[in-house]
Each structure stands twice: as structure tokens, then as C-alpha cells.
Amino acid sequence: MYRGGKCILAPMVRVGGLPFRLTCLEYGADLVFAEEIIAQRLLDTTRVDNPDLGTTDFLDENGSVCFRTCEAEKDKMVFQMGVSDPDVAVRAAKIIEPYVAGIDVNMGCPKSYSIKGNMGAALLTQPDLIKDILTALVKSCSKPITAKIRILPEEEATLSLCRVIESTGVAALTVHGRTASTRSSAPCNYDMVTKIKKELSIPIILNGASLDIMCRGDMEKVMERTGVDGIMIARAAWQNPGVFSTDPIPAKTAAETFLKRCIDFECPLNILKYTIGKLRALFSSPDGCLQVTKHIEPRLIYKHFGLAEYYDKVTAGRSTKIQDEFQKSKRQKLGDGHILLKEELTPTILQTFRSRVAPRQILNQWLIANGFSNPTFSTVENNKIFTGVLTIDNDTYVVEGDFKNKRTATQAVAYAYCMRNHIELRHYKTGPKTNR
């Protein structure tokens, strides 16, 4: 599975979701690693089959998608988990292994959330814990187990750690050729990875070479130079998912394919915006990205790229049954008599109106001008997720959404009311800043 010069998509938080993975597979990636999911978070999910999308979804208690996959990637997708406990690792692996080709443990992420949880790069100095986690997974799982690390500052310490990992029976080891403190702009340490390859007998995958890669041929050159069994790339693929192809694929063509997969599989709005921010081939000027990502409605983003008709065709008739089930607990706490406002909203709504007139102010002005009484705003909390509640005269309105603070929830319900009643907002989003 990991030998023979594999070209692999690296796990990327927020980017490596199902639409991006499928796009990379379409253009020739041999394997794709999913974005890291914390093992404990997976344990708290509910698995559901999504017939509209043809996917298997793992939803958290608020109905948000924690992880989504489909049959098309089953034999080429590796699930990566963040974990610091062998028992938790095995329990999470048992949940996910029927739907993946392999399971990987992240032992190299230097981000603070991983370090604080004793995960990622925090494990690099704990070889005994690494051994316990990987040994437990290898013994308990039917799918290949792998690990992904970064090199340590000292050569012998790095080689010693790699030997410990090999002794657990893992199927392969991915090595990022930088230390946890080395910036991504620094060159990849090919010499150290070459030494690891010579020291170990299991397949070695090199990660961290994106600075030297523009096409698949470049990947093959790096593999020939280092002797590794495969190469894993992140930033080079983010800039052009077509980089895996044996034939040159324009970055814009690959990016447009990605946008279609986003429509096909309901890419969350915040993920869509974040990802296209690096797909520079989509924009003719530096300001082009900002003009697109300012939109709150997904359709307006897709319309910018000429995909409004495709969006309408694909999304027509999609059911909301699954999400409706997970919203029941919220509705029960709200009681009867409220009017449900259904608009596609995300917490990024406040970013759109930052330093400009916000939806609550716009709504207040409109209601006063049209003879209504002053509105009142409140929130209902459920498992640290807030629902915005708007009362106007004797009518109460709520909006569904996973909002993490009261301010965002109340702005969201104001925005949804404005959209429902065709209260103009657009000129506030693109107009000059105000001191109000």
C-alpha cells in the first residue's frame, strides 16, 4: 500500500475535507490523508448515512459534521487521529476502520491545541507512550496503522525514535523533514530523511517538500534523490490540486473541479472560504479573493465562478431530515409558538459586518421606520451552543445554527429576519465603513 513511489495528499486541517480529497484523487493522488480528527471527538459522534449526498457522516451532538466520507475514496483514504491515550485510540479506530483504507496517528503537529492535549509533536519526546499507542492499534485493528512525525533536533534521537516506531509493527512511517520549531519556509532536511530510510526497513514517506514541487515529476525527483517510498504534499496541492496528474493541469481547472465537489458534498461555508483563499489561480487580482469571500450565501460564491446553475441543479430537492433530527433538542428548549427562520448562516457572519453597520442595528432602524416596537434579543444555550431569539411585538423568531457565543447568535437571527423580509443589507456589506 505504501511502496512503489506513492504520491500522497497530506492531512490538512480545514482543507482536507471530502471535496478536496476527491479532487486530488480525481487528478491522480495515489492516497489521500484526511484532516486530523481528535479521537475523543470521534467517540462523541453519531454515525448516519446521508442518502442525499451518498456519504457516511459522523455528526456531533449539535448535528455538525465531524467527519464525512464516501465509497469513492474508501480504498485510498487514510484517517488521521490526534490522540494521547492508547485505549481512546483503539476505541476511535474501531469506529472508523470499516470506512477507511488505513489509520494514521499524528505525532508531529506543533499547534498549541495539540501540544496542550499531549498530542501531535508533544509525543515526540515520549517514546514509551508512542509505543503503547501504536502497539495497541496494530494489535486491535485490521487496517494498516501508520504514524506521522517530525525530525528531532538531534540525529541520534530522531533515529532512535524511528526505531521504536518500527518495532510496534506499523505499516509505514511518514517523516516531515523539519523540526517542530522550524518554520515552513525553511528547506526540508532531505539528508535526515534519507538516513531514516536507510536505517529502517518499513516504507518511509517524506513530507515537507512542497517548496520544491510544481508537478508530479518534481515528486518523482525528490523520491529518487532520497530513496523514500512515497512523498506527501500539502501546500503544493492546496495551490493546485492537479499537481498529482501525470499531465499538466492548470491550477484554475483543478480549482474549478474542487468547487464542483464542494457543491456535490455540501462543503461548509467557512471551509469553502478558507480553502479558496489559497487557490490563487481563481482570481485575477489580489483583491479578487476578498470580493468573493465577503459573501455569506454559498450560492453567491459559486455564482462568481459561473456555477450558480450547477449549484441550483445539484442542490434542488435535497432533504434536511438529518439536520432536522439533530435540531429537536434545541427546539424543545425553545418551547412552542416560535417562528423558525431558515437561512444558511455561519459564525463568519460577524466578520462580514465588522466595522460596518451590523444586522441588529439595521433591523432596529428598519422596524422603527416602519412603525414596529423595539425588538428584544435573547439566546437559549444548549451544550455550549447558542440559538438566537428575536421578539417583535407578539412574534418570536429563532434561527438554527451552531453559534458559540451570544453575540453571534443574536446577529444571526437579526440577519435571518432581514433576509426573510427582504430588508436590504447588501450595501452595508460592500459600502464605506461607518463609525456607528
* Residue in the structure block whose three cell numbers are 514509551: 128
Amino acid letter, 407: R
pLDDT classification of 335: cutoffs 50, 70, 90: low
Give yes or no for residue 384 having a pLDDT over 70. no
pLDDT of residue 30: 98
- Model confidence over 185-216: pLDDT tens digits? 999 999 999 999 999 999 999 999 999 999 99
pLDDT classification of 132: cutoffs 50, 70, 90: very high
Cα–Cα distance list, 424 to 89, 192, 372 (Å): 50, 59, 17
Considering only CA atoms, which of 140, 28, 29, 26 is closest in space to residue 11?
Answer: 29
Residue with more model confidence, 220 or 334: 220
Say how far apart CA 335 and CA 63 lie, in whole Å.
20
pLDDT classification of 349: cutoffs 50, 70, 90: low
Say how far apart CA 284 and CA 296 lie, in whole Å.
22
Give yes or no for residue 362 having a pLDDT over 90. no
Say how far apart CA 397 and CA 361 lie, in whole Å.
17
User: Residue 105: beta bridge partners?
Assistant: 81, 147
Considering only CA atoms, which of 436, 423, 33 is closest in space to residue 207?
Answer: 33
Q: 406: which DSSP letter?
A: H
Q: Average pLDDT in the 411-431 region?
A: 70
Give yes or no for residue 251 having a pLDDT over 60. yes
Q: Which residue of the set 7, 24, 70, 109 is catalytic?
A: 109
| Inter-residue long-range contacts of 108-117, CB under 8 Å, 24+ positions, other chains counted | 108/148, 108/149, 108/150, 108/176, 108/180, 109/36, 109/82, 110/150, 110/180, 110/181, 114/82, 117/38, 117/82, 117/84
Is 109 known to be catalytic?
yes
Three-class SS state of 38 = strand
Cα–Cα distance list, 301 to 64, 170, 289, 298 (Å): 22, 43, 10, 5
Q: How far is CA 269 from the centre of its chain?
A: 11
Give yes or no for residue 415 having a pLDDT over 80. yes
Beta strands in 235-352 (DSSP E): 338-341
pLDDT of residue 422: 76
Q: Average pLDDT in the 313-337 region?
A: 64
Residue with more model confidence, 435 or 279: 279
